[in-house]
Amino acid sequence: MIMESKSPIVKHLVNRLRDAHCDAFTFRWLLKETAKQLLTECAEALPMSERKVPTWQGNYVGSFVDESKIVCVSILRAALPMQEGVMETLGEIEGGFLAMKRDEETHESRLYYDRIPDPKGKTVLLVDPMVATGGSLHDALELLLAREPEKIVTLNVIGAKEGVEKIAAAFPDVTVHIAQIDPVLNKDAYIVPGLGDAGDRAFNTP
């Protein structure tokens, strides 16, 4: 299922990311803020539990996000600021990393590093700002689903219509929370209008 954000705050943050004059520090901060907003939008999918806490009025039983049942996985590199945002808000969840690089000729993604805590029975928040052809997200979802999580929710910033639709068709049980869907890919498989290369912009590489 695709859930495109309707929030004016999210649209504001995305359009600031598009600004070619946005420096790398601000770009990373905007990715982090957008991830926090998307986390709030997907919150109904998170596992909850009741807990007793001591307060100035005695014990109080309230609901909390069950952080022991959540893993946030980022697809390197550009997702790192998003993961930081999610893990700032939910400080005790587990973090995992998948490193993938798109081949510039074939546009196919290649996995070159995988360090993920066991997600079996847990909710996985899979973060990656860009969904272009959808190849990277597709491969990440296949890898994660084979490890039997309870559910997977993805948090993404900009997706090309064709890439997002490909993910929705291949993984009907996965919810894609995305800030903005853009119309097309160019011949180099970059999203248009998009924001350019998110990894390069976040980490100041040519």
User: Rule CB under 6 A: which residues touch ligand PRP?
Assistant: 75-78, 100-102, 107, 109, 128-137, 163, 189, 197-199
Decide: residue 86, CB within 10 A, 0-12 exposed, 13-18 middle, 19+ buried. buried
CB of 170 to ligand PRP, least distance (A): 13
Distance of CA 3 to the CA centre of its chain: 13
Distance CA(3)–CA(76), nearest Å, equals: 23
C-beta of 85 vs 163, nearer to ligand PRP: 163
Give the residue with the Cβ less far from ligand PRP, 118 or 142: 142
Contacting ligand URA within 65-104 (CB under 6 A): 78
- Give the span between the Cα atoms of 123 and 43, in whole angstroms: 11
Nearer to ligand URA, 153 or 198 (CB): 198
In the complex, least distance from residue 161 CB atom to ligand URA, rounded to whole angstroms: 13
Nearer to ligand PRP, 102 or 177 (CB): 102
Q: How far is the CB of 200 from ligand PRP (least distance, A)?
A: 6
Instruction: Please state whether the peptide bond connecting residue 193 to the residue before it is cis, i.e. omega within 30 degrees of 0.
Output: yes
CA torsion angle for 110, 161, 14, 30 (degrees, to 10)? -20
